[in-house]
Amino acid sequence: MRIALFSNSYLPYLSGITVSVKMLKDELCALGHEVFIVGPKYPGYKEADPQILRLPSMPATYPGYRLVWPYSYKIFKQLRQEKIDLIHAHQPFGVGLAALILARRMKVPIVYSFHTLFSRYVHHAPFIPQRLAKIAIARYLAWFCNRVDTVIVPSEMVRRLLLLRKVKTPIKVIPTGLKLDLIKQKAELGTQSLELRKKHRLTEKAKILLCSGRLAPEKNIPFLLHAFEAVKAEVPEAYLIMVGGGPREKEYRKLAGNQVIFTGQIPHAEVIDHCLAADLFVYASTTETQGLVLTEAKACGLPVVALFGGGLADVVENGLDGYLVRRDQKKFIEHVVRLLKQDGLRRTMAQKAREDAHERFSSVSVAKRIETVYNSLIQSFDKLRI
């Protein structure tokens, strides 16, 4: 198969979507397919891979993100010449809409992966009334989903949401996969805890809470910082490490008390190192369609304490490998303190978390499921051409 993946963001920009697209490309190539990626250019970044096709872009209000000019006669002509069998869009706007138009002109199937609950991000466009923005986004998403051939969603929650919005297109629930090889290789070394404790000047007795992700309003970081102050009163040796950067980093650094460490944005391999060195993963966002950082933390053997919301119920098995808490800070704190104080319970949950993540979220098995979707669509289109 020859497949084109369209995304409004890609490496070197780091996000759940860029990690997901890169993972899918790698696994599909390993299965013997030819994969092209259409994404934005980044200033100062030279692309070495001829199958990654870069579109013109300009700075966005969100740090590091680029606004993409989605149409390129040269790139679309190249994809026609390559005789692409299927197009897979990873956003519905901009590049995603261009992907839909190109797929219809080429008469090939198009798949859309629903990664983001866009209605929860309207605060990034303060010049538009939020209620109006939410209505417009919901209508556009329903329109877009009903014009592609299959929608892939990462959780049952998102599937139900799309059905409520009257999406009639077939919907497949396939979670975002994880590259487990890197985690296994690093876990076998077993040196992360010692090295990171030395780097952050922490003793062997320190209990490390970890949160990774963008430092942005939708991630509900103040909830976490306030909760940690109460945790610290119960467990004085507790430290909170915030991995990631974002538009509110300076603000959150000022809000944080002592024993909170901010790493800023770091390479993905170092994020894994932090997961392998920590004792517990904590998360307060309720806007996730799946929560890739949670599956990654579980694969590294971290129990999770998170707020219930979005697609997290499909990731965390409440009471088995972590706890999901409705917006109750007192309960959140209780679960964190319990896991920090009860080493046996934490180890049991850590093992359950690792086993579940490796069983359900392997990038190899996820890519094979997506490959099955692709094959089915291509066969259907071939029959229509006869």
Q: What's the pLDDT tens digit per position in 68-107?
A: 999 999 999 999 999 999 999 999 999 999 999 999 999 9
Alpha-carbon gap, residue 277 to 274, rounded angstroms: 5
Q: Is the pLDDT of residue 7 over 50?
A: yes
* Confidence tier at 129 by pLDDT (50, 70, 90): low
- Strands annotated E in 222-273: 238-243, 260-264
Count Cα atoms within 13 angstroms, Cβ side, for 154.
25
DSSP 51: T
Nearest to 125 by CA among 216, 62, 219: 62
Per-residue pLDDT, 118: 62
Per-residue pLDDT, 357: 94
What is the average pLDDT score of the chain?
A: 92
Tokens found for residue 120: 């929860």
Q: Is the pLDDT of residue 122 over 70?
A: no
* Confidence tier at 60 by pLDDT (50, 70, 90): confident
Q: Average pLDDT of 212-240?
A: 95
Bridge partners (DSSP) listed for residue 3: 35, 86
Per-residue pLDDT, 270: 93
Residues counted in the chain: 386
Planar angle of CA 153, 158, 164, nearest 5 degrees: 125
Count helices and strands (H / E) in the chain: 14, 15
Per-residue pLDDT, 119: 55
* Confidence tier at 218 by pLDDT (50, 70, 90): confident
pLDDT in tens, 229-271: 999 999 999 999 999 998 899 999 999 999 999 999 998 889 9
% of the chain at pLDDT higher than 90 = 73
Contacts 24+ apart (CB under 8 A), 220-224: 220/284, 220/285, 220/286, 220/307, 221/248, 221/252, 221/284, 222/252, 222/255, 223/284, 223/307, 223/329, 223/332, 224/282, 224/283, 224/284
Q: Is the pLDDT of residue 126 over 60?
A: no
Alpha helices in 10-129 (DSSP H): 16-30, 73-81, 95-106
- Going from the N-terminus, what domains does the chain have, and what CATH number goes with each? 2-177+362-385 (3.40.50.2000), 180-360 (3.40.50.2000)
Q: How many CB atoms lie within 10 A of CB 25?
A: 21
Q: Average pLDDT of 365-379?
A: 97
Q: Is the pLDDT of residue 317 over 90?
A: yes
Per-residue pLDDT, 123: 46
CA distances from 90 to 11, 206, 221 (A): 14, 40, 26
Per-residue pLDDT, 127: 54
Planar angle of CA 212, 196, 305, nearest 5 degrees: 35
Decide which of 131 and 40 is more confident. Answer: 40
Q: Is the dihedral of CA 340, 342, 344, 349 positive or negative?
A: negative
* Confidence tier at 157 by pLDDT (50, 70, 90): confident
